[in-house]
Amino acid sequence: MRVKLSHRSVRDPKPRDFAHYDCCPRLDGLEVMSARWVEHSFAPHMHDFYAVSLNYRGRGAFDCRHEVHEATPGTCNLIAPGELHTGRATCGDGWIYRNLHIEPALMVRLLHSTEWRGPSDVGFKASLVKDTVLAARLARVFASMTESGSLLENESLLLSVVARLITDHFVHGHALGAAGREHAAVTRVKEWLDANSEQNVSIRSLADLVGLSPYYLVRAFHRQVGVPPHRYQTIVRVNRARTLLRSGAALSEVAYHTGFYDQSHLTRCFKSTLGVTPGSYATCHAESPRPAPHSYRVRRDLADDLQQEVHIASSQPVIDTARPERRLATNLRP
């Protein structure tokens, strides 16, 4: 049985800025984003998924972990859920890259499928790496999901990426700030906002929840999380809106259930965080058994353009034979 990749193109109103999203129906929790940014600049934000990227062409930069990282062709960006970061092009030709968006639940399944024995809460050692093996494996995944209908091939190549992350780039757990009353209070407020992001809560209510003054809470939250509470609330709302749009919910319902004032407010915040409007994102994930010819040309042109910029040796093994103790299963156990 052939597995078809659902695909739609998204064109940004700004000249030469565009992005499109692909999803594999049999790989729940996986999304591929391909983009070129020339003018668009991402505000500080965080995702609720793992973002594993390959930079193909041009140059970009992003702030993460209090450092500015220069994304050049052949390098890989590694962003864990909850990591605050930005993004922007730094040259006239723009910044072209592809992202694997891996939901945490899928990452756990992938880890189990590699016979991983460590904790499932993993992060990355570094936000930007130059790893030719990882770059080669990512290029193969992106090519397969664009051109192949084989679920077996897509899963196997995805597992090879995760295997490389395990051996060279994962760390156990996310970095935590200093312990203490302030840290515990911020963590509690953060967890409350995660669970109740649609609520129109006051800073006084949050401060009372943890026994801090409103002003001190805002300062402590900003220092620990990287953004003030109101900005974090918006980020959580956008991530929740993304999930609802993937499920097919109408824009009006998404705006209402995520706590945005109206669809216009949702659109502004969504585009600032993800680079496309919620309507365009929903279109990408609408059922599309056979992509329209124009959309197919856009996708193929981008794939050809990217392939010319990153040269991957055809002899590069999918599994790193230098570490024979890592044996990969090909099934994704639930």
**Tens-digit pLDDT profile for residues 109-146:** 999 888 788 888 899 999 999 999 999 999 999 998 87
Same domain, 18 and 118: yes
Residue type, 254: V
In this structure, of 99-103, 175-179, 259-263, the range with the lowest mean pLDDT score is 175-179
CA atoms of 86 and 283, how far apart (whole Å): 25
Same domain, 147 and 195: no
Structural element, H or E, at residue 223: helix 214-225
What are 6's two structure tokens? 């659902």
CATH number at residue 120: 2.60.120.10
CB 330 within 8 A of CB 156: yes
pLDDT value of position 11: 52
pTM of the predicted model as reported, rounded to 2 decimal places: 0.76
**% of the chain at pLDDT higher than 70:** 78
DSSP character at residue 116? -
Pairing of strands 50-58, 76-79: antiparallel
CA atoms of 30 and 20, how far apart (whole Å): 14
Same domain, 146 and 246: no
CB 155 within 8 A of CB 145: no
CA atoms of 209 and 195, how far apart (whole Å): 14
Same domain, 85 and 146: yes
- For the stretch 310-322, pLDDT in tens is 443 333 333 333 3
Structural domains counted in the chain: 2
Same domain, 75 and 98: yes
Q: What's the first-to-final CA gap in the chain, in angstroms?
A: 21
Over range 138-160, report the average pLDDT: 86
CA atoms of 176 and 269, how far apart (whole Å): 28
